[in-house]
Structure 1
């Protein structure tokens, strides 16, 4: 690969990292705490490319003999395509396809085998805002059944399997590659079945006690009292 091509690749890849790190789209791939790594890596790559370009220009101006490297051509420039794809069209966050490909895995599965757990009481109020992770883990592990007879509000995206409509979120350990889904089956509102997959919704309702079992990968059912479409959140993962 020619040195000029290497420098262009460094500039574009570093610029792509800076772009997604500064405009917030890095949240589609890594946790918020990783922003400084994305921005820092992009800055270093751009700086290295600039230093290399300046060095080459100085050598050329001084009359240094050029070294002709072989093996460049169309195949070399093809390496720019994935970089340009990241720079121009940032891939979206994972969605329903990733949930359906997880073979029923859930964040609640591994822990339930160790027995129940104690959770803090839910805050007072007619409607309790709650994350899907908290809702699903309480449904699977909470021996005190703190969700029973409480109305909750959650946000997620629509997912479907062969028999039901669900709402889901992906829980990220460090990056999108290790994301694990949490799912809630939506019952009682026909509007859920009419929504396209991957559309984001805010749902209010009550748990159906005893519906989160090992057989269904600890996917609780929610009797929906209200449902409304919402924009995708800035942080799509929990």
Structure 2
């Protein structure tokens, strides 16, 4: 690869990291605490590229002979193709993982990794007619809560729509450090036929009550929720839990 191509790749890749770092798009790939790493890496790459470009300009080396130039031109075209993925990241940042990642997950769930056997004690849910709750907390409680704190309580949570054969599920991906290790949590939506009308990957806010005993090892700890209300919402700034 020619030095000019290397330098431009560094500028574009570093610029892409700075762009997603400042705009918040980095949250599609890593946890919020990693923002400074994304920005620092992008800044270092841009500075290295600018230093190399300045050094090459000072040298101001002329091209090789005419026959050598033709060879370099042919070789350079293949090198420029390497810039396409970088340009794609810079111009169109890929979205967060969605339903495809959930359906290809072989049934793994956060609840399975939290505890394999036995129960657990959870803090009581706060008072109120409707309790806001994360999907991770809801699914983990449904699988392991000895006190059954979810029973007879109306909860509100958000996620994206997933289709599982003839069922409609709401899911969320839980990130350990980055999108590569994200593990899903799922809730089966029942009781409201309108839930099936939402497109896959649509983000929704759902209110409802758990159907006790529906989260089992056989269904990868996927509880069923009797839906009392559902509405579409914008994609949240932080799509992972």
Runs of at least 5 residues in structure 1 that lack an aligned partner in the other structure: none
1:189 aligns with 2:192: yes
What's the counterpart of residue 169 of structure 1? 172
Paired residue total: 235
Q: Secondary structure at the match of 2:235?
A: coil
Q: Deviations over 1:29-69 (max 9, x none)?
A: 11111111111100000000001111111122xxx676789
1:159 aligns with 2:162: yes
Distance 2:118 2:33 in 1: 32
Q: Deviations over 1:13-40 (max 9, x none)?
A: 0000000111011111111111111111
C-alpha contact 1:112 1:140 (8 A) present in aligned 2: no
What's the counterpart of residue 138 of structure 2? 135
Tell me how far 1:72 sits from its aligned partner.
2.6
Normalising by structure 2, we get a TM-score of 0.94
Distance 1:24 1:110 in 2: 29
Runs of at least 5 residues in structure 2 that lack an aligned partner in the other structure: none
Tell me how far 1:74 sits from its aligned partner.
1.6
What's the counterpart of residue 44 of structure 1? 44
What's the counterpart of residue 82 of structure 1? 85
C-alpha contact 2:114 2:140 (8 A) present in aligned 1: no
What's the counterpart of residue 209 of structure 1? 212
Distance 2:231 2:38 in 1: 34
1:98 aligns with 2:101: yes
Tell me how far 1:113 sits from its aligned partner.
2.0
Q: Secondary structure at the match of 1:103?
A: coil
